[in-house]
Structure 1
Amino acid sequence: MVFAHDTERSLVDAAKLINTAESEVDQLNTLADLDEFVKANEYSGSRSHTMGELRAVRHLRPRLRAVWTAEEDEAVRLVNNILRNGRALPQLVQHDGWDYHLHATTPDAPLDIRMAVDAAMALVDVIREKELVRLRVCAAEDCNAVLVDLSRNRSKRFCDTGNCANRTHVAAYRARKATA
């Protein structure tokens, strides 16, 4: 394991959130889309189920994406800003079958704030461990999705949103065959 289980989970969830904006059709267009995303990624706490909540979550995506592509000092500034705006107060909690892990907001904080602060807390660990290289953009030429490389040897290059690795490898194979 590279990071604590809650850190890994928050990083993967943040990447999934960012990637909802990376396909041809935005995957968070409706409240039902948001409901499905929240349920699939097991976000806890209160919800307003309003268009304002949906807009706030959608607005979070580019803020998190900026950290994925930032140099260390800029990443620190962005993460600190998220933590400050969320009035983060880290606490150990246990809920929904999860063992003790960190939450830095109250369960009744707005969904976008909880999502942002959870991601920021995970990004704190990434920055402290000097592992920003694990936050990447997919290596496929036609993909802008982000990924978290949790492999032991830091070798993950392609996202999980489609068949990017397979498409790239097939294209390279065909190019080699064409020149042979």
Structure 2
Amino acid sequence: MKALPSQPKTAPHQPRHLHLRGRYEQTATLVDMDVVRIDHYKWWAIGLAIALANSDPDIAGTETLDSAAAIDQLLRAHGATEVQVSEDDLPHLRRIRPYLLRAVRDPAPDRAAPLLNHVAAEAGATPRLTNHDDLPWHIDFHTPASTAWRHIAAEAAAALMGFLIARGPDRIRLCSARDCHRFYADTTKNNSMRYCPDRGCANRERVRRHRVRNG
């Protein structure tokens, strides 16, 4: 999904969907006939999936997914705009979040598969070939009429599944910073990430090492 598709203005009665056009234009790789390479297309959602797992109180230390505004902030941090979320989405996202966290903590496919399959089933994930919102052809995994939490859960589960198959479980790691307990997905070509990308952990560790070296 590079946008959970929004409907054209001529059909206002139809459901609205997540827009992720900005991040899509920055990260997607196109091939012949304006078709999005599935692996590149999905990687926007791997960050969202792991961020959702990292929001668990076991990782964050407190409940950060505590309002519709918190869901909106999480989505916008990963390029999503114009999504209609509500307080009703909260209990459902909290319910599927432990499955994502367990899959991230132990991403070996034989153990992650039943967890991610469960999330996908809960979300009613249904692969669809689409070119909504003037985007190139790609695969979405949510159903257009579903609620926001189902959109998020379907795309998060599909992204983790695809990432594990395409890149391998060793690319999902715990941040190496001493004061961080968050997970991240290494999407670099040379498998070089050692820190989560969202909290400045790499910079803090460089400063710490510099201070140690210089007394």
Q: TM-score, normalised by structure 2?
A: 0.70
Three-state SS of the structure 2 residue aligned to 1:118 is: helix
Aligned partner of 2:104 in structure 1 is 68
Unaligned runs of 5+ in 1: none
Distance in structure 2 (CA, Å) of the matches to 1:17 and 1:27: 10
Q: Which amino acid aligns with 1:14?
A: A
The alpha carbon displacement at 1:155 in A equals: 1.0
Three-state SS of the structure 2 residue aligned to 1:129 is: helix
Aligned partner of 2:41 in structure 1 is 6
Match of 2:51 among 16, 20, 24: 16
The alignment of Structure 1 onto Structure 2 pairs a total of residues equal to 176
Maintained 8 Å contact 2:104/2:172:
yes
Q: TM-score, normalised by structure 1?
A: 0.81
The alpha carbon displacement at 1:42 in A equals: 1.9
Aligned partner of 2:147 in structure 1 is 110
Output aligned runs, 1:67-146, within 5 Å: 67-70=103-106, 71-129=108-166, 131-146=168-183
Cα gap change, 1:136 to 1:88, in 2 (>3 Å): same
**Bigger relative CO (Cα 8 Å, ≥ 6 apart):** 1
Aligned partner of 2:34 in structure 1 is none
Cα gap change, 1:177 to 1:39, in 2 (>3 Å): closer
Match of 2:74 among 15, 34, 37: 37
Distance in structure 2 (CA, Å) of the matches to 1:23 and 1:138: 13
Cα gap change, 1:39 to 1:130, in 2 (>3 Å): closer
The alpha carbon displacement at 1:8 in A equals: 0.5
Unaligned runs of 5+ in 2: 1-28, 30-36
Distance in structure 2 (CA, Å) of the matches to 1:34 and 1:89: 23
How big is the alpha-carbon RMSD for the aligned residues of Structure 1 and Structure 2? 2.6
